[in-house]
Amino acid sequence: MYQHIVHDVIKANYELLEAIARNDWVSYEKYVDPTITCFEPEAAGHLIEGTDFHKFYFQQSASSNAAKKNKSILASPSHLLPHSETPSSLNTMARPHVRLLGQHAAVVSYVRLVQSLDASGAVQVKQYEETRIWQNKNMDGWRNVHMHRSQIGSSE
């Protein structure tokens, strides 16, 4: 019955990860509520409120051409979204799970894999457990209102 909502939330989450991978602040703002709250490793246990914390990282990466080569894919039992360019890093949203909290709110949980090359050309993989809360206020599109990310290990 609500499968279209699940699809829309997964799509918004995917597009947000794409915006992050591309260092695309304009698209990022489209999917993130200006009052977002989050816990993430970079904040060292502190609750972050608003987008200024993240905007700093976008600004620092803006001059890097490597940011333009990053991309994301959605990897679940029935989804794989291919891309034509060769990325310098690849984000994979593995097995996303959506829990609807009515028609206007949802929680998405997944493992995010970030593959990249180090300075010597060796492949590095970082793994994060991510949970994002999405809200569709006034039916104007899904916006990420809270995020929690924990690093769970790395593989070389």
CATH architecture of 3-155: Roll (3.10)
- What is the per-residue pLDDT for 96? 96
pLDDT 10s digits, 53-76: 888 878 787 655 454 456 565 554
Bigger pLDDT: 109 vs 59 = 109
- The mean per-residue pLDDT over the stretch 107-129 comes to 92
Tell me, rounded to whole angstroms, the distance of Cα 24 from its chain centroid: 12
* Paired tokens of 36: 């977002």
Q: Is the per-residue pLDDT at 88 higher than 80? A: no
* Domain residue ranges in the chain: 3-155
Q: Is the per-residue pLDDT at 147 higher than 80? A: yes
* pTM recorded for the entire structure: 0.80
Torsion of CA 7, 92, 109, 124, to 10 degrees: 180
Question: Exposed/middle/buried for 24, CB within 10 Å: 0-12, 13-18, 19+?
Answer: middle
**Mean pLDDT for the chain overall:** 84
Residue 86 pLDDT level (bands cut at 50, 70, 90): very low
* Paired tokens of 144: 């990420």
